[in-house]
Structure 1
Amino acid sequence: MDDWKALAVFASVVRHGSMSAAARQLGLSTSAISQQVRALEQSHGVTLLHRSTRKLALTDAGERVYAECARMVEAAERAQQQLRTTRDAPSGELRLAAPIGFGPYIAPALTPLLAAHPALTLRLLVDDAMIDLIDARIDLAVRVGRLPDSSWVARRLCAIELWLCAAPAYLQQHGQPRTPEELLGRHWLSQGGARGNEGMGLLLHLQHDGGQQRTLRVEPRVSSNNQLLLQQMCLAGLGLALLGSPDAHADIQAGRLQRVLPEWRLPVLDVWALTPQRDAQPAKVRHATEALADYLRSLPGMLP
C-alpha cells in the first residue's frame, strides 16, 4: 500500500515535469515529494529519475515503471469518476422490494426517474412475505405499518388511512351498520396476520370524531395475505373489509364501494422506506426514495 502511494507520487512528478509542480497538484511540500520518490528508489534498489538543478529525466527503468504507473493512475481516476457518478446521478441496478398492494404505485412513481436516467435499471421484488433484505441484496424496501427491530434505516414516506368498506349489494342485503356494535356478526374479509392475531380474529380500534372509543374483535369469514384479493371479494359483495384509502378511493368515487361508519376512524398505517445505511446513500436510492414520497403523498386519501 505504501508503494502505491509512492508510485502515484512518482507518476505525478513525471506528468507535471517537476517535483514542485507535483507538490502543488498534490497539496504536499516539495521535500515530501522528493522523499517519497527517493524512498521508492531505495526500497527497490532502482534509480527512476536523473536529477539536476534545472530538470528531471527518466532513466530506462523509470520509463518502464512510469508506463505502468500512468495506467494505474488512470484506472484510479476512472474509479473516482465512477464514485462521483454513483453519488451524483442515478445509475446501475436499483433493487427495490415492496408489498403486492404497492405494485400499482411503483410504476407511476419511478417511470419519470427511469426515463430521465437511462443508466438506471430496476429490479422489482413484489411480495407480501417478509423476504430477507440482505440476502436479496435490496437497496430500498417499502414497508407498511409497525416495523420490527432492524439495523436498517427507516424513513417515513406518508401514512394510509384505513376505511371500513362494503359493496352496495352487501349493505342492501345485510343492512348498513349504524353503531360499532352492529359490526359484530357481519361477514368480514381480513388480511390475516397483518392487523390481527391469526386464530384470534380481527381487532378493531375505533375512535369517533367526537372522542368516543370502541375496541371490537370480529371473526373473519375470509382471510388472506393479499390485500388486492380481499378488495376484489369486497367488491363482489362477500363482506366488510378494511381497505387502504388510496386503494379504495376510486371504487368509492365510482359507487362500487361504500364507506361504513365513516365517522369512526381507525389508526393510520405509516409507510416506510428502508435502506441499509444512513450515510453515503447512492444517488439511485436517494432519488428513488424522493420519487416514491412525492408520488405517494399526491394520491387521494394518502396522508403526508
Structure 2
Amino acid sequence: MARIEINRSGEMEVFVRVVEQGGFSPAARACRMTPSAVSKLVARLEGRLGARLVSRSTRKLQLTPEGCAFYERATRILADIEDAERGAATGEQAVGRIRFNTSASYGMHILAPVLPDFLALHPGVTLDIVQTDHVIDLLAERTDIAVRAGPLKSSSLVARKLGETPMLIVASPAYLGRAGVPRTIADLELHERLSFSYARSIEGWSLRDGEETVLVPAVGRVQASDGEALRHLALGGAGLARLAAFTVRDDIAAGRLVPVLEPLGSGDREVFHAIYVGQGGPLPSRVRALLDFLALRGRVS
C-alpha cells in the first residue's frame, strides 16, 4: 500500500489562519481556498490527531482546550520554520518582525533611549511596540516579548529578570505648597493619593509604622491606567503618586517632583521581567536578539 504523504506544516498554517481569522470562510479567503476545503482539512487534522480542535456548536468559532494547545505549538513551529528559512538565507542574522508589549513607563524611560542602538545592530528586524500596563495573553495577542513589573504568576511562560527599582512617593512643589508636606502615615488622610485603575498584586502603599509594615490604601479622586499617566498627573499637581524610581529620577533632579515620606519607606522594590513563550524549542533569532539586548541595555534600577 502506498504511503500517504501528509503536509503537516501546511495543515498547521491553515489551522492557524482559521483561528486568527475567526472562521473558516475568512481563512479560506486568506489561504485562497474554498470554505469547504478548509473545513475538510481541519476535520482531517482532527481525525489524525484523535481530538476535537474547534467547537462547531456555536456561530462564533471557539477552540477546545486541545485546540488552544495545538494552536500554541503550531504558531511556535511555524515561526521556527520561518526563522530557519530566513537564517539560512541571511547567515543566522536576526530578521523579521517582533511584537513587543511593555508598560508606558518602561517604554518611555528605558526602551526608547536605547532602541536606536538595537535597530542599528539588527537592520533586518522590524518592531511592533504596544504600550499598556495591563497584563496581556501573549498567545492571544501574538506577542513575542512582554516586559512586566511585579511578581510573576505561575504559567507556561519563560521570564528573564531585568532588574528591580525602589518605589517612591512623589508630588509636585505646587501641590505640596497647597496641601502641605505629609510627614506621618496619618497625614495621608488629608492628601489626594493617585492610584491605578486596574487590579495590582498589592493594592496600596507599603510603609513602615514603627517596627511594623502597613499597607495604606491608595484612594483619591483620580485613577489612571498606567504609570506615565500618574506621573503626569503628579507633575500637574493633582496629588501624591507612588511610582518606580527610574521613572521620576530626572523629575526629582530637576525639581519638578519632590519625594516625601522617605523615612517611612518599607524598602519594597518592584521587579521587572521580560516574559516570552520559550518552552518546547529554540527561540527565533530575532526574539533571542532582543532578549539579549534587553538583558544588557534594558535593565532597571
Superposition TM-score tier, normalisation by shorter sequence: 0.5 to 0.7
Give, in whole Å, the separation in 2 of the partners of 1:248 and 1:271.
16
Residue in structure 1 matched with residue 106 of structure 2 by the alignment: 102
Q: Deviating runs (4+, > 3 A) in structure 1?
A: 1-4, 78-88, 194-197
> Where in structure 2 are there 5+ consecutive unaligned residues?
6-81
Q: Could you give the per-residue CA deviations for residues 20-56 of structure 1, whole angstroms, max 9, x where no partner exists? A: xxxxxxxxxxxxxxxxxxxxxxxxxxxxxxxxxxxxx
Q: Counterpart amino acid of 1:273?
A: A
Alignment of 1:222-237 (within 5 A): 222-237=222-237
Q: Counterpart amino acid of 1:155?
A: R
Is the counterpart of residue 169 in structure 1 residue 174 in structure 2? yes
Q: Root-mean-square deviation (CA), in Å?
A: 3.0
User: Which of the pair has more CA radius of gyration?
Assistant: 1
Of 189, 195, 208 in structure 2, the residue corresponding to residue 190 of structure 1 is 195
% identical equivalent positions: 32
Residue in structure 1 matched with residue 297 of structure 2 by the alignment: 295
> Where in structure 1 are there 5+ consecutive unaligned residues?
5-77
Cα separation, partners in 2 of 1:183 and 1:160, compared to 1, 3 Å: same
| Offset of residue 127 of structure 1 | 2.4
Q: Could you give the per-residue CA deviations for residues 189-211 of structure 1, whole angstroms, max 9, x where no partner exists? A: 111224478xxxx5222248x86
Give, in whole Å, the separation in 2 of the partners of 1:289 and 1:124.
14
| Offset of residue 83 of structure 1 | 4.4
Q: Secondary structure at the match of 2:206?
A: strand
Q: Secondary structure at the match of 1:188?
A: coil
Q: Could you give the per-residue CA deviations for residues 242-279 of structure 1, whole angstroms, max 9, x where no partner exists? A: 11111111110000110001123242111111110144
Give, in whole Å, the separation in 1 of the partners of 2:96 and 2:224.
36
Q: Secondary structure at the match of 1:221?
A: coil
Q: Secondary structure at the match of 1:154?
A: strand
Count of aligned pairs: 221
TM-score (norm 2): 0.65
| Offset of residue 88 of structure 1 | 4.0
Alpha carbons 1:185, 1:218 under 8 Å: kept: no
Q: Counterpart amino acid of 2:180?
A: G
TM-score (norm 1): 0.64
Cα separation, partners in 2 of 1:188 and 1:127, compared to 1, 3 Å: same
Alignment of 1:1-304 (within 5 A): 82-83=86-87, 88-104=92-108, 105-195=110-200, 203-207=204-208, 212-266=212-266, 267-278=268-279, 279-297=281-299, 302-303=300-301
